[in-house]
Amino acid sequence: MCRLKLWIPMIICIVTGSVFADPLIINVDGRQTLSLNGKWQYIVDPYELGYYDYRYKPDPNGWFKNAKPRNKWDRVEYSFDDSRLLHVPGDWNSQTDKLYYYEGTVWYKKDFDCHPEPGRRAFVYFGAVNYEAKVFLNGQPVGEHTGGFTPFNFEITPYLRDGNNVIVVKADNKRSREGVPTVNTDWWNFGGLTRRVMLIDVPETYIRDYFIQLEKGSADRIGGWIQLDGRDSQEPVLVYIPELNVTKVLHPDKTGRAGFHMQASPEPWSPDDPRLYTVRIVCGKDTVEDRIGFRRIETRDHDILLNGSPVFLRGICIHEQKPLGGRVSTEEQARALLTWARELNCNFIRLAHYPHNEYMIRLADEMGILVWAEIPVYWTILWDNPETYKNAENQLGEMITRDKNRASVILWSLANETPLEQSRLMFIKNLADRARALDPTRLLTAAMERHYIDSKTQMIDDPLGEVLDVFGCNEYIGWYDGLPSKCDSIEWRMTYKKPLIISELGGGALQGLHGDTLTRWTEEYQENLYQHQLVMLKKIPFLRGVTPWILMDFQSPRRPLTGIQDDWNRKGLISDNGQKKRAFRILKHWYDQLESRNKKE
């Protein structure tokens, strides 16, 4: 690791003086890496006393002002000590009670050894930092990133030194009105280096990115492109799928990009048979290997077609929340959530309301679970603010870049519960255009608005429907809207001939609290609500999927009800300590019936 040649300059924005992320390197697990996970020293800085301006000049009044530096960087290092440590990856809120509600800046520092060698390049990669990150290596600015749920990387080739190196990260999770999401959300604003950190070691010219999927509408034609990065970006590239006995030699253009098509007949990936193929890409000194599934996803009128056949999506919503509190940060924690979804007999999950850890998507590929992946365009963001749009589009691009080769992902979701207005329509329409430019093979959706046209009729006519392939609608009839029995008389109508997914439904229950079926917050009320919901869902002729809210209770500062919620949203079918509530078996029984009926057909 860390064999490097110092020749690549940083790209600097002259106008602001800021240094931004390099193009994302995908499939980091297929690379030569050095983990920087583990214990990091930290400083809590609510008053921004360690602030660096956009030229990255230390503030003379900063928290290191009384230090006695041994060298130019030690004046910063001086204030860190081993008595204050946070585990990375992880959020700071669940690691110490003092930071449970904290929103602001925390500085992280870690020492690591590295021995650069000529002819190599190095990048520092972050799975996610919530929400804004500024990164420094050996006293030099490396770059900055905005957005709390997507990966980013910076080239550090010029700044690595032989032996000891020091990386410092300023992580700031303060909410802002112009942010994505904005200040108003319904989940915990976990701060910190919430996903893994690593160094990536590559040759001078390397395979940075690729897209390899079945072409849209085809069962026997694999297409895509390869993107090289480096001096010799027109080197030939070999794409090889051994199990299909197909090979393609590509010749990139001056930008390092090469498109391709190849005839092949892969066994289609599906929840019943999640077949993954080894794909090898070779260019000069660089080789990348990935496990990729091939499947088709399309719509026809009200149907969603998986590999040409209609599929009903038996789903559940999931927040990136682990039992007892804190952000999911390991593969084992992700697997536990997906295992519960499988116990519910789900073939589909909605990853709300932001891109989840890459572990979730990779495991969904392996376990045969279809995925709705979403960006946090949530509620009432600033639709007319160009910087807000730029932020949303960047998060969309980073999500698609990371996950576009994963067969499990069938839906890119562009928004959740956004109000009807023209600026919102144009905002999301532009996102849709961008998503289709980045990935023409998948379907687009959003959780949209619906309304009553009379006391018993729900109408779906959101004009955003013209832009999307699949409708998502959230409804809480029986919880926020009447009693559970109200579901029995509701009729649903839609002005579009497109598939509908009821993307949220449900109600809260404190696990272990019991009473009659009309006593709110009891397991019996939640169970009764699901029973009435199923009566209604079965009567919607254009319904093609359901993702009730939600698999497991999750933390939210909007839920302070003492003795019941205590900072937790209690709509989970599983409690925060992993206990299944009574409604779990109601939904599972229905999903078992749907699966059995589908197999008979």
One fold for 28-203 and 217-295? no
Query: To which residue do tokens 């391709």 refer?
Result: 260
Write down the pLDDT at residue 58: 47
CATH says 28-203 is which class?
A: mainly beta
Nearest to 527 by CA among 553, 508, 540, 551: 508
Write down the pLDDT at residue 73: 44
H/E stretch holding 85 reads strand 85-88
Write down the pLDDT at residue 20: 59
486 DSSP assignment: G
At 451 the three-state DSSP class reads: strand
- What is the rounded end-to-end Cα distance, in angstroms, of the chain? 54
Tokens of 566: 């205590």
At 367 the three-state DSSP class reads: helix
Q: Per CATH, is 217-295 categorized as 2.60.40.10?
A: yes
Nearest to 435 by CA among 398, 391, 472: 398
Write down the pLDDT at residue 65: 40
Q: Looking at the domain that runs over 298-600, which CATH code has it been given?
A: 3.20.20.80
Tokens of 9: 């300059």
Identify whether the C-beta of residue 26 lies closer than 8 Å to the C-beta of residue 210: yes
H/E stretch holding 493 reads strand 491-494
Tens of pLDDT, residue by residue over 465-521, are 999 999 999 999 999 999 999 999 999 999 999 999 999 999 999 999 999 999 999
CA atoms within 13 A on the CB side of 415: 29
Dist CA 535 CA 543 (whole Å): 13
Point out the residues of the chain with pLDDT beneath 70.
Answer: 1-20, 51-78
| Domain assignments of the chain as residue spans, ordered by start | 28-203, 217-295, 298-600
Dist CA 547 CA 358 (whole Å): 21
Tokens of 105: 């800046």
Write down the pLDDT at residue 81: 83
pTM of the model: 0.93
Q: Provide the β-strand partners of residue 584.
A: none
Identify whether the C-beta of residue 520 lies closer than 8 Å to the C-beta of residue 472: no
